[in-house]
């Protein structure tokens, strides 16, 4: 069993104050969201450029950044409360002293800089320097929120100190979730994973036949407390039964993948490529949705409190969604369409638009992430929110308009079928699982 606390969290508990004791000074909502959106913009760039940040790892990093932002400024949010005592094995966190005012943009600036350095240890020297540069420059460039006429050295230092303390407390907790031990270059003491074999079982796929990605990731501690149900609290629905028989459900779904991939329409190809969100080329699916959240916050001229709530809920949902998805993937261990089609339909077939990822088929991780993200963002911004997605403008693929967050999530989900890398049931199963995770996150008591 992982430890519930450590020396730093014990100190935090001694320093803690009851959630209803708000420190003096301006509340968090009195400031703009710029400090949050600027830091997450840098985070997405670093996720794209840092080795080892596959989609689950990237989602975990963004989740801890989102939670750090929220917990660092929630003492200045009278209508909200800390998540300490609600999340898995997180019993206590520091709380600001009620008689010592804090400047919340300074708190957030220091907290996010500190957490980003610790959460992305393999970032290049150039990118580590960008973290330092943003931390120094924000007080100079964000004149709305950093008023040098009132922000004296004592207030600035006290605020930055509290932000750093919060980041260190959360990082101490993060180190016990299993994620630090599951991915290169930090992988340690992990047994070699040998995939089970047999009819219908996943096997490495052409053309690279890469080894399985993060087979232990589904055993990581999620943010939401588990009830210990077999398969997790949000398991994927039952997968297709493996069958080679013509007319079986699996054979029919394989024929659908084969037919679409061989004769995809222009729009289907566009959907597949737009939502590919490849690691190393983009900030991954979680980063795509974090970009959408930033655009919504900017369009609504949101304040810092609204941004903190949005980033915490969104990124926790996406990270927990991928933990749940990876658990289902390796428990069910269903073969990919390319394997089935080469065995039963066309021995020379390969998906034309992208290579098949190196992990089991069911469920679609994109569907889990996108469905969870859309439901969480809809709860804050409205289910009928129309928006313009600018996530891939720098690649010449945007902007693109969507009538709702759910419409975007549905397109992202079915794009994996159009790409030839998922059966339709993998898409729909992932949607169900993602919505379940979103409901778990929305059930957290952010307000007393």
| Tokens representing residue 335 in the block | 């073969």
Q: What is the pLDDT of residue 7?
A: 38
**Report for 1-15, 171-185, 215-229, 414-428: range of highest mean pLDDT:** 414-428
Question: For the whole model, what pTM was predicted?
Answer: 0.94
pLDDT tens digits along 72-117: 999 999 999 999 999 999 999 999 988 899 999 999 999 999 999 9
pLDDT tens digits along 280-333: 999 999 999 999 999 999 999 999 999 999 999 999 999 999 999 999 999 999
104 assigned to some structural domain: yes
| Tokens representing residue 329 in the block | 């993937």
133 and 225, same domain (yes or no): no
Banded model confidence at residue 16, pLDDT cuts 50, 70, 90:
very low
What CATH number is associated with residue 82?
1.20.144
144 and 201, same domain (yes or no): no
pLDDT at residue 52 tops 60: yes
222 assigned to some structural domain: yes
Banded model confidence at residue 13, pLDDT cuts 50, 70, 90:
very low
pLDDT at residue 205 tops 90: yes
Banded model confidence at residue 66, pLDDT cuts 50, 70, 90:
very high
What CATH number is associated with residue 223?
1.10.606.20
pLDDT at residue 349 tops 70: yes
Domain final residue, candidates 154, 180, 206: 180
425 and 336, same domain (yes or no): yes
188 assigned to some structural domain: no
Domain final residue, candidates 180, 213, 239: 180
Task: Give 232: exposed, middle or buried? Use CB within 10 Å, 0-12, 13-18, 19+.
Answer: buried
14 and 54, same domain (yes or no): yes
Q: What is the pLDDT of residue 99?
A: 86
pLDDT at residue 61 tops 60: yes
> Which of 129-134's residues contact partners 24+ apart within 8 Å by CB, and which partners?
130/42, 130/45, 130/46, 131/42, 131/46, 134/38, 134/39, 134/42
Q: Give CA separation, 338 vs 260, 369, 417, 444, in Å.
A: 13, 23, 12, 40
447 assigned to some structural domain: no
125 and 58, same domain (yes or no): yes
List the domain range (segments joined by +) for residue 317. Answer: 194-442
424 assigned to some structural domain: yes
pLDDT at residue 428 tops 80: yes
| Tokens representing residue 422 in the block | 């998922």
Q: What is the pLDDT of residue 148?
A: 85
Query: What is the average pLDDT across 150-175?
Result: 96
Banded model confidence at residue 398, pLDDT cuts 50, 70, 90:
confident
Tokens 């069911």: give the residue: 362
214 and 363, same domain (yes or no): yes
pLDDT at residue 55 tops 90: yes
pLDDT at residue 273 tops 50: yes
42 and 98, same domain (yes or no): yes
Banded model confidence at residue 23, pLDDT cuts 50, 70, 90:
confident
Q: What is the pLDDT of residue 3?
A: 38
pLDDT at residue 439 tops 50: yes
Q: What is the pLDDT of residue 17?
A: 37
**Which positions ≥6 away from 385 have C-beta within 8 Å?**
296, 377, 378, 404, 405
317 and 349, same domain (yes or no): yes
Task: Give 164: exposed, middle or buried? Use CB within 10 Å, 0-12, 13-18, 19+.
Answer: middle
* Nearest partner of 426 among 340, 350, 307, judged by Cα: 340
Q: How many CB atoms lie within 10 A of CB 170?
A: 28
215 and 262, same domain (yes or no): yes
Domain final residue, candidates 124, 147, 180: 180
Q: How far, rounded to the nearest angstrom, does the alpha carbon of residue 38 sit from its chain's CA centroid?
A: 17
Banded model confidence at residue 9, pLDDT cuts 50, 70, 90:
very low
Compute the mean pLDDT over every residue in the chain, rounded to the nearest whole number.
93
Q: What is the pLDDT of residue 326?
A: 98
16 assigned to some structural domain: yes
pLDDT at residue 150 tops 80: yes
162 and 257, same domain (yes or no): no
Q: Give CA separation, 437 vs 149, 247, 391, in Å.
A: 45, 34, 24
53 assigned to some structural domain: yes
286 and 358, same domain (yes or no): yes
202 and 160, same domain (yes or no): no
Question: DSSP labels for 98-118?
Answer: TTS---HHHHHHHHHHHHHHH
Domain count of the fold of the chain? 2
189 assigned to some structural domain: no
């Amino acid at each position: 069993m992982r430890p519930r606390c450590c020396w730093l969290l014990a100190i935090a508990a001694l320093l803690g104050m009851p959630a209803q004791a708000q420190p003096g000074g301006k509340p968090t909502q009195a400031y703009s969201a710029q400090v949050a959106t600027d830091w997450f913009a840098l985070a997405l760039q670093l996720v794209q450029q840092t080795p080892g940040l596959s989609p689950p790892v990237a989602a975990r990093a963004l989740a801890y950044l989102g939670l750090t932002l929220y917990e660092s400024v929630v003492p200045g949010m009278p209508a909200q409360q800390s998540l300490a005592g609600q999340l898995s094995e997180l019993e206590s966190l520091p709380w600001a002293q009620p008689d010592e005012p804090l400047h919340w943009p300074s708190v957030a600036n220091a907290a996010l800089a500190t957490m980003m350095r610790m959460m992305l240890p393999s970032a290049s020297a150039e990118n580590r320097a960008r973290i330092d540069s943003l931390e120094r420059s924000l007080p100079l460039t964000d004149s709305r929120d950093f008023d040098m006429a009132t922000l004296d050295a004592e207030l600035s230092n006290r605020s930055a100190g509290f932000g750093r303390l919060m980041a260190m407390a959360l990082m101490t907790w993060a180190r016990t979730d299993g994620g630090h031990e599951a991915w290169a270059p930090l992988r340690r003491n992990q047994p070699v994973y040998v995939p089970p074999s047999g009819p219908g079982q996943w096997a490495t796929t052409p053309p690279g036949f890469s080894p399985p990605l993060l087979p232990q990731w589904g055993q990581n501690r999620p943010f939401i407390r588990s009830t210990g149900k077999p398969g997790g609290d949000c398991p994927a629905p039952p997968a297709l039964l493996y069958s080679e028989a013509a007319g079986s459900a699996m054979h029919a779904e394989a024929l659908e993948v084969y037919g679409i991939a061989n004769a995809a329409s222009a729009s289907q190809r566009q959907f597949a490529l737009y939502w590919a969100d490849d690691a190393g080329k983009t900030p991954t699916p979680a980063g795509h949705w974090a970009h959408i959240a930033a655009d919504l916050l900017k369009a609504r001229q949101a304040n810092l409190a609204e941004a903190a709530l949005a980033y915490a809920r969104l990124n926790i949902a996406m990270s927990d969604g991928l933990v749940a998805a990876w658990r289902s993937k390796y428990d069910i261990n269903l073969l990919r369409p390319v394997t089935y089609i080469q065995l039963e339909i066309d021995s020379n077939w390969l998906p034309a638009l992208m290579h098949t990822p190196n992990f089991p088929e069911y469920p679609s991780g994109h569907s889990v992430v996108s469905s969870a993200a859309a439901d969480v963002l809809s709860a804050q911004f409205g289910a009928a929110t129309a928006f313009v997605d600018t996530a891939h403008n720098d690649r010449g693929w945007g902007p693109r308009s969507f009538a709702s967050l759910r419409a975007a999530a549905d397109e992202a989900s079915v794009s994996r079928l159009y790409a030839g890398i998922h059966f339709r049931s993998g898409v729909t199963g992932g949607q169900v699982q993602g919505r379940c995770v979103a409901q778990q996150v929305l059930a957290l008591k952010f307000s007393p």
